[in-house]
């Protein structure tokens, strides 16, 4: 039986959060099959899973009739979608697209959502003009726009805005009066050359990347598919929903580029409940299939820094030159020397350095790509200011100038404990074949620009959580041999669908 975590008891005792009667009841509801699964541990094959799914739908006497019926329908729909989900994931995996290049991906999402009957926002309706950071060169975008048509992008959905790098799609489903639920799915890929050896399943099964140097190496192809499957399931149960659903397909999560422009457009301003997830490895700290919340992502700030100097003959007139490489080198050393902060974690890294044109030429151009991170928004402000000061000072020291171009920022993030506990409860009740991790609110160490969306929702009094969808992985995220067990697609669709259903069904007790 799942125990209510001690810290939740404390919060309820202190009346900091309202106990949810329905959810507390659900802690005692558990089918025999789910118990069996809990005892065995380990992963199941699909056959076993579907037996458990069937058994899970029996033994729900404690649920009222319609409620049991709807969650059963959700499980069934997600299961029926499994082959489609797998195909979609492999198609997105085959054609990965980095930040602001997600034109094929966006056009396909827009097509599917439109055909399902969603109100669909694309292009400048999604990302505010002027608010995108880390944009590729126009020429590169134009080339990619031509390429995606040869890669099967639906031409009628590939808008002029998308061709300019206004990627990302929002699907809206309005079901009358009620709260607004926002879900976020990131859609971009990484700059990584995918493994092409017989050990790598995407290669042997023919769905490895066709875009050289780009790869879905973080699982966002899976997130995209979870979003599309959830859209489909919610449309089938729309008569049960009372409120509005916003499905946000976000470009450019890697490098924290995309969320800011969506937040700036105001899309999160009316969201009462907000959730997102990331696939996570089953050999990490998460011991279930779903971890309902996480906290502590590091705030981050990233820059491309250009140093401009003066070229000269290195032997003939060195005094007339101003070396951009020396300026960049000074910046690198002194960025690393930014003092730590007493109030929390800091990070700094210079990831690339380039410069110069020839051995005997004083270099007039150099460039570094750097990032700083911090445990809180205050600390990142400090790190950001120091980084700017160091780069400017290094340039000045060597008679150069320096230009810093932001490539993305993220804040630190906290999931709402009452909301994530409420989710843990509804997952136990509606999806007993899934195990909820024993630590409901897990620590994050990376950075994530979902934080910007969560913070906006929370600033307006809404509730937000960032979950984990646990799955077996062939290799760690951001490595060339990354791949994951596709059963997580179905689990993700079920998870998001029951969360929305439970938030928007009639007479629901919601976290307040």
Interface residue list for Zn ion (CB under 5 A)? 218
Query: Nearest distance from residue 253's CB to Zn ion, in Å?
Result: 6
In the numeric block, which tokens belong to residue 52?
């458990």
Nearer to Zn ion among residue 458 and residue 479 (C-beta): 479
Give the chain's count of helices (H) and strands (E).
17, 15
Query: Nearest distance from residue 254's CB to Zn ion, in Å?
Result: 5
Nearer to Zn ion among residue 72 and residue 224 (C-beta): 224
Nearer to Zn ion among residue 433 and residue 468 (C-beta): 468
3-state secondary structure of 251: coil
Are 510 and 250 a contacting pair, CB within 8 Å? no
Nearer to Zn ion among residue 218 and residue 473 (C-beta): 218
Backbone torsion region of residue 454, taken as left when φ is above 0, otherwise alpha when ψ lies between -120 and 50, otherwise beta = alpha
Nearer to Zn ion among residue 449 and residue 502 (C-beta): 449
Nearer to Zn ion among residue 218 and residue 233 (C-beta): 218
Rounded to an integer, what distance in angstroms lies between the CA atom of residue 224 and that of residue 208? Answer: 17
**Residue 148 to residues 72, 120, 144: CA-CA distances in angstroms?**
39, 21, 6
Rounded to an integer, what distance in angstroms lies between the CA atom of residue 442 and that of residue 203? Answer: 33
Query: Nearest distance from residue 280's CB to Zn ion, in Å?
Result: 10
Query: Nearest distance from residue 166's CB to Zn ion, in Å?
Result: 21
Query: Nearest distance from residue 278's CB to Zn ion, in Å?
Result: 6
DSSP tag of 496:
H
Q: Which one, of 291, 506, 421, lies nearest residue 27 by Cα?
A: 421
**H/E stretch holding 355:** strand 346-355
Chain position carrying tokens 């960025």:
335
Helices (H), 130-191: 138-150, 160-163
Query: Nearest distance from residue 383's CB to Zn ion, in Å?
Result: 21
Residue closest to Zn ion (Cβ) = 218
Query: Nearest distance from residue 279's CB to Zn ion, in Å?
Result: 8
Nearer to Zn ion among residue 71 and residue 444 (C-beta): 444
Nearer to Zn ion among residue 237 and residue 467 (C-beta): 467
Are 332 and 350 a contacting pair, CB within 8 Å? yes
In the numeric block, which tokens belong to residue 60?
């729900």
Angle at 7 between CA 463 and CA 33, to 5 degrees: 85
β-partners of residue 353 are 368
Nearer to Zn ion among residue 103 and residue 218 (C-beta): 218
Nearer to Zn ion among residue 25 and residue 283 (C-beta): 283
Query: Nearest distance from residue 477's CB to Zn ion, in Å?
Result: 6
Query: Nearest distance from residue 220's CB to Zn ion, in Å?
Result: 6
Count of CA atoms in the C-beta half-sphere (13 A) of 349? 7
Q: Which one, of 460, 478, 475, lies nearest residue 253 by Cα?
A: 478
Nearer to Zn ion among residue 52 and residue 218 (C-beta): 218
Q: How far apart are the first and last CA of the chain?
A: 26
Query: Nearest distance from residue 438's CB to Zn ion, in Å?
Result: 24
**Residue 287 to residues 27, 218, 470, 492: CA-CA distances in angstroms?**
18, 20, 8, 16
Query: Nearest distance from residue 212's CB to Zn ion, in Å?
Result: 19
Query: Nearest distance from residue 403's CB to Zn ion, in Å?
Result: 27
3-state secondary structure of 360: coil
> Which DSSP string corresponds to 418-469?
HHHHHHHHHHHHH-TTSPBPSSSEEE--S--THHHHHHHHHHTT-EEEEEEE
DSSP tag of 126:
T
Nearer to Zn ion among residue 426 and residue 467 (C-beta): 467
Rounded to an integer, what distance in angstroms lies between the CA atom of residue 258 and that of residue 304? Answer: 17
Are 485 and 280 a contacting pair, CB within 8 Å? no
């Amino acid at each position: 039986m799942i125990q209510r975590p001690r810290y939740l008891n404390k919060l309820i005792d202190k009346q900091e959060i309202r106990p949810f009667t329905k959810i507390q009841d659900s802690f005692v509801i558990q089918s025999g099959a789910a118990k069996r699964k809990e005892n065995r541990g380990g992963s199941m094959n699909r056959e076993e899973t579907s037996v458990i799914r069937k058994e899970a739908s029996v033994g729900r006497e404690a649920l009222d009739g319609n409620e049991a019926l709807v969650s059963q329908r959700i499980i069934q729909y997600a299961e029926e979608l499994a082959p489609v989900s797998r195909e979609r994931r492999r198609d997105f995996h085959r054609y990965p697209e980095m930040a602001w290049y997600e034109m094929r991906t966006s056009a396909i999402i827009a097509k599917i959502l439109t055909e399902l009957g969603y109100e669909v926002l694309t292009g400048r309706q999604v990302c505010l003009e002027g608010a995108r950071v880390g944009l590729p060169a126009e020429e590169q975008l134009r080339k990619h726009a031509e390429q995606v048509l040869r890669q099967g992008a639906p031409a009628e959905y590939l808008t002029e805005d998308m061709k300019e790098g206004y990627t990302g799609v929002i699907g809206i489903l309005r079901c009358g009066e009620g709260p607004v639920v926002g879900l976020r799915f990131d859609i971009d890929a990484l700059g990584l050359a995918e493994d092409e050896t017989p050990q790598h399943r995407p290669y042997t099964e023919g769905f490895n990347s066709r875009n050289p140097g780009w790869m879905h190496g973080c699982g966002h192809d899976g997130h995209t598919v979870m979003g599309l499957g959830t859209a489909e399931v919610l449309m089938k149960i729309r008569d049960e929903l009372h409120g509005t659903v916003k499905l946000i397909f976000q470009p450019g999560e890697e490098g924290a580029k995309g969320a800011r422009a969506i937040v700036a457009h105001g899309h999160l301003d009316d969201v009462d409940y907000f959730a997102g997830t990331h696939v996570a490895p089953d050999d990490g700290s998460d011991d279930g299939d779903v971890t309902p919340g996480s906290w502590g992502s590091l705030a981050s700030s990233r820059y491309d820094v250009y140093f401009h100097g003066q070229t000269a003959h290195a032997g003939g007139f060195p005094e007339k030159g101003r070396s951009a490489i020396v300026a960049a080198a000074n910046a690198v050393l002194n960025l690393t020397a930014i003092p730590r902060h007493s109030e929390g974690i800091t990070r700094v890294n210079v990831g690339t350095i380039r410069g110069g044109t020839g051995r005997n030429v004083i270099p007039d151009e150099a460039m570094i790509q750097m990032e700083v991170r911090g445990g809180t928004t205050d600390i990142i402000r400090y790190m950001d200011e120091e980084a700017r000061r160091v780069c400017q000072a290094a340039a000045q020291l060597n008679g150069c100038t320096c230009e810093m171009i932001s490539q993305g920022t993220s804040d630190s993030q906290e999931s709402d404990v009452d909301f994530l506990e409420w989710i843990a409860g509804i997952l136990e009740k509606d999806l007993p074949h899934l195990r909820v991790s024993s630590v409901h609110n897990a620590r994050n160490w990376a950075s994530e620009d979902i934080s910007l969306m969560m913070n906006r929702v929370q600033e307006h009094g809404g509730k937000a959580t960032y979950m984990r969808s646990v799955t077996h992985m062939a290799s760690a995220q951001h490595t060339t041999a990354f791949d994951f067990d596709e059963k997580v697609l179905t689990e993700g669709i079920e998870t998001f669908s029951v969360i929305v259903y439970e938030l928007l069904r009639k007479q629901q007790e919601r976290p307040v």
